[in-house]
Amino acid sequence: MHSLSSRLLILTIFFVMVAEILIFVPSIARFREAWFIEKLGLGHLAILAVDATPDRSVSEMMRRELLSHVGAIGLSVRRGGARLVVSVEQPPPVSESYDIEDASIMELMSDALITLFTTKDRVIRVVGPSPRNPSVSIELVLHERPLHRAMTAFASRILGLSIVISLITAMLVFLSLQWLMVLPMRRLTENMIAFREDPENAGRVIAPTERRDEIGTAQRELAGMQARLRATLAQRAHLAALGTAVAKINHDLRGILASALLVSDRLGGIDDPEVRRVTPTLFKSIQRAVDLCSRTLDFVGQDQPELERSRFPLRDLVQDVEKVVVLPETVESSVQNDVMGDIELTADRDQLFRTLTNLVRNAAEAGATAILVSAKSNGQWIEIDVADNGPGLPPRAREKLFRPFEGSARAGGTGLGLAIARELVRGHGGDLALVATDKDGTRFRIVLPRD
């Protein structure tokens, strides 16, 4: 009962039976009307037999035979102004009267259902035109039991036929849907399960058919998605191996550069003018190399560290950033802290400190002479803006801004700082985005949940 096939079969049978019921009610009403018309015709024939007698009088035996042939208790005919009656001596009282000519389709269906489900043998009166001569009006008084039996037999035949039709239709629809939909969907499902278990196996990629319908489209899209996913997994595996190798190389290289940094520092104490001239350049070059190794290790080795959340004033955090960020000599003023003292948020203070420090340092290294950090509350979110008056980001840097080793805006940069900063912010459930950049400056925005 939980499979798609069984549900389709049950639903098909159900809907076919509903359709048969909708057909059955008008059919049983039409059967009842036809039964009445047939009786009216027999009544007309009986009256014609009476008309054939010399004085329009019949014996008691003939009267009973005529009424028995019609199946009525009494009958009468109106032709023009004349009326001829043939009836038993004491007819029983009439329970219901029906005029076939004036009845609507809804009345016919309603009366038919009442007759079908009535258990009593009522005496009814039926009035209508003769089927042989519409100008002749026939009136019959008869028992309802024969009509009830005829309608019950008709309903039984209709029910049996409906069951046979519904079963045949359901089976044909079931087989068609099984071939067109269920089996292909089962194949898709089995393939997805197999691919999930071993996505790197090329043999698990589904082979699409030539179908042009929705199933065929789903097969082709699934095959394309699986192929792209395999390529992505293979690329990530290669990058992971490369990252491990780079981390080991960087670790050793950083040790070598640290030794070189100590040596260059000692060179600064030598009185030789030429040595003193080249030592600062050498020192800065080695320092940049150490910084590059450190950032690369941070990016390659980070595994989304656990957040150590605490609640703190944002203004105090920005003040700490001002103290540790050493601005270049070209920056005439320190970082301007425009954060209101009442703004607090719950976050990992160290990670947010690292993010803000990165943004402020990037702005200073890009040539900004004024850096403004501001914040505002926007419902359940805190928006932190870091704006500067630098020359703006070049188009190439904007296109690959948050891509490591590609999105640097300055020569010799790695682009790791923004990539790491964005990952740290997203780890809090927020985001880091470039809001604006032009010749008048650049603005980055950090959006973080308040709590």
Residues in contact with 317: Cβ distance below 8 Å, sequence separation at least 6, in sequence order: 349, 352, 353, 356
Q: How far apart are alpha carbons 69 and 172 in whole angstroms?
A: 47
Query: 290 and 386 share a domain?
Result: no
Q: Indicate the DSSP class of residue 91.
A: P
- 207 belongs to a structural domain: no
Query: 421 and 292 share a domain?
Result: no
Q: What does each of the 451 residues of the chain score in pLDDT, given as a tens digit?
A: 566 667 777 777 787 778 777 888 888 889 988 998 888 888 888 877 777 776 666 677 877 888 888 888 888 888 776 677 777 667 788 888 888 888 888 888 888 888 888 888 898 888 888 887 888 888 888 889 998 999 999 888 888 887 787 778 778 877 887 787 778 888 888 888 888 888 877 778 888 888 888 888 888 888 888 888 888 877 777 666 666 666 666 666 666 666 666 666 666 667 677 766 766 766 666 666 666 666 565 555 555 557 788 999 999 998 888 876 655 555 454 678 889 888 888 998 888 988 898 888 888 888 888 889 999 988 889 999 999 988 888 887 777 777 765 545 555 455 567 887 888 888 888 999 999 988 888 999 999 998 7
Last-in-domain residue among 284, 301, 318: 301
- 196 belongs to a structural domain: no
Query: 81 and 151 share a domain?
Result: yes
Query: 114 and 52 share a domain?
Result: yes
- 436 belongs to a structural domain: yes
Q: Give the burial class of 134: count Cβ atoms within 10 A of its Cβ; 0-12 exposed, 13-18 middle, 19 or more buried.
A: exposed
Asked if residues 319 and 337 have their Cβ atoms less than 8 Å apart, the reply is yes
The residue range of the domain holding 223 is: 214-301
- Which pLDDT score is estimated for 216? 82
Residue 213, classed as helix, strand or coil, is: coil
Query: 399 and 279 share a domain?
Result: no
Q: How far apart are alpha carbons 65 and 48 in whole angstroms?
A: 14
- 186 belongs to a structural domain: no
- 360 belongs to a structural domain: yes
User: What token pair was written down for 325?
Assistant: 């960020």
Q: Computed from CA positions of residues 14, 15, 17, 18, in that sequence, does the dihedral angle turn out positive or negative?
A: positive
Last-in-domain residue among 135, 168, 201: 168
Total tally of structural domains belonging to the chain: 3
- Which pLDDT score is estimated for 446? 94
Query: 282 and 341 share a domain?
Result: no
Query: 153 and 13 share a domain?
Result: yes
| CATH code of the domain covering residue 430 | 3.30.565.10
CA 154 to chain centre: 47
Asked if residues 81 and 73 have their Cβ atoms less than 8 Å apart, the reply is no
Q: How far apart are alpha carbons 429 and 409 in whole angstroms?
A: 27
Q: Are strands 123-129 and 96-99 parallel, antiparallel or unpaired?
A: parallel
- 66 belongs to a structural domain: yes
- 185 belongs to a structural domain: no
- Which pLDDT score is estimated for 265? 65
- 313 belongs to a structural domain: yes
> According to DSSP H, which parts of 268-343 are helical?
273-301, 314-324
Query: 283 and 324 share a domain?
Result: no
- Which pLDDT score is estimated for 209? 82
Query: 120 and 144 share a domain?
Result: yes
Residue length of the chain: 451
Query: 315 and 433 share a domain?
Result: yes
Amino acid at 264: S
Query: 280 and 319 share a domain?
Result: no
Long-range Cβ contacts of 448-451 (<8 Å, 24+ apart): 448/345, 448/347, 448/352, 448/381, 448/382, 448/384, 449/345, 449/346, 449/380, 449/381, 449/382, 450/345, 450/346, 450/377, 450/380, 450/381, 450/382, 451/345, 451/346, 451/380
- Which pLDDT score is estimated for 384? 93
Last-in-domain residue among 301, 317, 348: 301
Query: 313 and 296 share a domain?
Result: no
